[in-house]
Amino acid sequence: MRITVLGSGSWGTTVASVLTRRDHESLIWARNEATADEINAKHSNDRYLAGFPLPERLRATADLAEAAAHAELLVVGVPTGAFRDTLELARPNLHPWIPVVSLSKGLERDSLLRMTEVIKEVLPGHPAAALTGPNLAKEIMAGMAAATVIATEDLTVATEIQRIFRRGLLRVYTNHDVIGCEVGGALKNVVAIATGIAQGLGVGDNTRAGVISRGLAELTTLAVAMGGEPATLAGLAGMGDLVATCISPHSRNRHVGEQLGRGRSLADILGEMGQVAEGVKTVHAAVQLADRHGLAMPITRTIHRVVTGEITALRAYDGLLRTLPAGHESEPG
């Protein structure tokens, strides 16, 4: 199958590599022409995946029209802030009805839409799916075992995409609960910032475990309020992705939180990263969704106050010393 991956970051490049090794004719679109040239000539992407050789059969282009026209399956791995614009630019050259799979974990800031909802708005008639789960790019490139979820309401489409992506130690599951899968993938980045702050402050593993557990309760509450199923958040797209993102040194969102916990400014942290930490943007939309559904979501709201500069990371953890008693574990807070 001819597959196009839009986005040459670490995850987009990894997915394109996996698909190429499954003997698909994969083409990756890079916004930067120098990156496309490097992939074609040197079979590497040193900015995002230094030290990992790419398949020689993997091709790259900086021409979005060429990339779109090539696709019998379109995979979109650009940051959420560029997701809609990229699809709109690709639309004139796409074949009709081809499935579109989102790799991007976040929410559109102004509309508060999930990425599959953006796909449906921009590309009506195209089946929309999300690939999500605990998928750290460098571990998959290193050949380590991993599990992922392809989420779409039409399980016939999901099963076909599952067949396309499955390879070696990458185990691909299907799930019909797109809301639960996408909310889990988006909100876990916010919780990872909180967990990173705990790491940076050196407040202990008990605290980090508490933040992860209560964070899972928050993202489950929001997902269910939006129409998702609670069981989904106990699986790969919820707890699995949350744990990986909160504990891994490869996690960009955890890194942002850790540096905030050490007293650095958000602008300095993001300026040196050269990559997008989706949780920084997602938290704005998450707070608005919490307001819409009348949810407390204290961790999310606290990280929003940190990101906006209202309070420091240290001040955020003063909340752990609140004198109000904790309620039932099933309740927020």
208 is in an annotated binding site: no
Partners of residue 5 on adjacent β-strands: 28, 75
238 is in an annotated binding site: no
H, E, C per residue of 137-163: HHHHHCCCCEEEEEECCCHHHHHHHHH
251 is in an annotated binding site: yes
40 is in an annotated binding site: no
7 is in an annotated binding site: yes
213 is in an annotated binding site: no
131, 149 in Cβ contact below 8 A? yes
Residue 114 is given by DSSP the state B
> Is 120 labeled as catalytic in the residue annotation?
no
277, 189 in Cβ contact below 8 A? yes
309 is in an annotated binding site: no
Q: Is 226 exposed, middle or buried (0-12, 13-18, 19+ CB in 10 A)?
A: middle
200 is in an annotated binding site: no
76 phi, psi to nearest 5 deg: -115, 115
d(CA 74, CA 68) in angstroms, rounded, equals 8
27, 15 in Cβ contact below 8 A? no
Report helix, strand or coil for 134: coil
d(CA 175, CA 311) in angstroms, rounded, equals 39
Q: Is 142 exposed, middle or buried (0-12, 13-18, 19+ CB in 10 A)?
A: exposed
95, 63 in Cβ contact below 8 A? no
252 is in an annotated binding site: yes
8 is in an annotated binding site: yes
188 is in an annotated binding site: yes
Q: Which of 120, 138, 188, 281 is catalytic?
A: 188
81 is in an annotated binding site: no
Residue 223: both structure tokens together: 């997902």
104 is in an annotated binding site: no
In terms of Cα–Cα distance, which of 141, 216, 132 is closest to 173?
A: 132
105 is in an annotated binding site: yes
48 is in an annotated binding site: yes
Binding positions for sn-glycerol 3-phosphate: 105, 133, 188, 241, 251-253
Binding positions for NAD(+): 7-12, 137, 252
Binding positions for substrate: 105, 252-253
Binding positions: 7-12, 31, 48, 105, 133, 137, 188, 241, 251-253, 276, 278
Binding positions for NADPH: 10-11, 31, 48, 105, 137, 252, 276, 278
Active site (catalytic) residues: 188
